[in-house]
Amino acid sequence: MVGIITQHNIYAHYLHNTLLHNLTNKFIYMINIHGIILAAGKGTRMNSDMPKVLHILSDKTLLEHVLIKAKNTCKHVHVVYGYMGDQVKKSVSDNSINWVHQSEQLGTGHAVSQVTPHIEDDSISLIMYGDIPLIKESTLNNLIDQACISGLSLLSIDLKDPKGYGRIIRTDGQIKAIVEQKDANEKQLNINEVNTGFIAIKSKLLKKYLKEISNRNSQSELYLTDIIALAVDDGRIVESVITIDRVEVAGVNDKVQLAELERELQKKQSLGFMNQGLTLKDPSRFDCRGALIFGKDCTIDVNVVVNGDVKLGENVSISPNCIINNSIIGSNVVVLPNSVIEGSVIGDGASIGPFARIRPQTKIGKNAKVGNFVEIKKSSIGNNSKASHLSYIGDTIIGENVNIGAGVITCNYDGSKKHNTEIKDGAFIGSNSELIAPVVIGKNATIGAGSTITNDAPEDALTHSRTKQSTLKKWRRPSKK
């Protein structure tokens, strides 16, 4: 049976073939996408000796934020570096990055041209910026998709105050050029749609147009944006991806903008955490500068800072002004105000603080208590043991059901080496005692208050070093003259 070919069928057949062609092109280019990150600038307005791209946003440098997006989007990543280049290169440990040096700052077009010898013609080039850290991967993928179809796409945004940005010039809805702020006339300055700088383009076209741009402009620089007008003159339609998210295309030029982006990033993270069930007493006064995993019914009060990788069990309560770094906190744990926990593991049901400091390589057992002004370093505290006040515990293994009195310290350092102390199950260490390591306190041993212990103390016995109390009746306290 011969089908009847209608106009509708012809159009559908055309759409099918066009879509198939575009998908094929996308597949070809997607496996060979080159990310080009421009990171050569000094960042004068940062008023710092450090390159701008190495300033920290949350827990990463600006450049690291961009590199993560580039690595997830592109097969190859190139970084154009310049000012203090050695320092910039040393900040990144990824050996797959291709570093390209820009010895002279002659404009964005010149910067990109330094990379083109490393790029194959049958690929897509994605232009990114080392000082725009919060660009979304989904936006980059949309740019790439458009470039696979049309050959060239750019990312734009409408701003109420477009000052400082290049304006998108359109005729009958089609992009015709980008005019930089300093070169724009009065009519063009009233345009609100601006260029964000992000461009995806077939690499063969990029190489062609970069050879044709000139520095005949107010800054005598080679503008990358001039390739837009060249593409239009070449008969090409320039596609655009328009974002409504100002934050994802916001650059960092000074410390004020850096702080603004920090708050925006923290706000976004906090909203995500709360949507997953975390209770934040005040999201604007919580900072997560790393990765936070949490169970049900966890509550975090104000001015808490989380750094690195932190995991909370269920029903964890963290009080105000605490810092948690790279630690695991079990379920039903209470962290009282002004406590610091670093590189440690806290068991279920434990109580920490207030004003406690738990230093790296410490393990706190279940239902243990570390009270106010207690510092613990590289030690383990057994289940149900307590150090309630004013103690220093270093390089020590403490068993279960041990009581550490107020003012107890383990003297672990002899001036050249660290030594270990072991306190076995059920021991009671009286207040204001000094345990001179290396020393072992036996099971169920009792150390009398105010003792200095230099030898092992036997189990089930009282050990103390106090001399007989005496009184000097004729002694007089010195007085001021």
Which residues belong to the active site? 389
What is the rounded radius of gyration, in angstroms, for the C-alpha atoms of the chain?
32
Contact yes or no for 229/120 (Cβ under 8 A): no
Closest CA to 256 of 42, 45, 61: 45
Going through 323-385 in order, the beta strands assigned E by DSSP cover 323-325, 328-329, 334-335, 340-342, 344-346, 351-352, 357-358, 362-364, 369-372, 375-377, 380-381
Q: Classify residue 47 as exposed, middle or buried by CB count within 10 Å of its CB (0-12, 13-18, 19+).
A: exposed
Closest CA to 221 of 185, 252, 182, 190: 182
Closest CA to 186 of 172, 170, 167: 167
Contact yes or no for 272/291 (Cβ under 8 A): no
For 185, phi and psi rounded to 5 degrees?
Answer: -85, 180
Separation CA 113–CA 105 (nearest Å): 12
Separation CA 227–CA 208 (nearest Å): 9
Local structure of residue 439 (DSSP, 8 states): E
Non-local (6+) Cβ contacts of 455 within 8 A are 439
With the CA atoms of 463, 372, 382 and 431 taken in that order, what torsion angle do they form, in degrees rounded to the nearest 10? 0
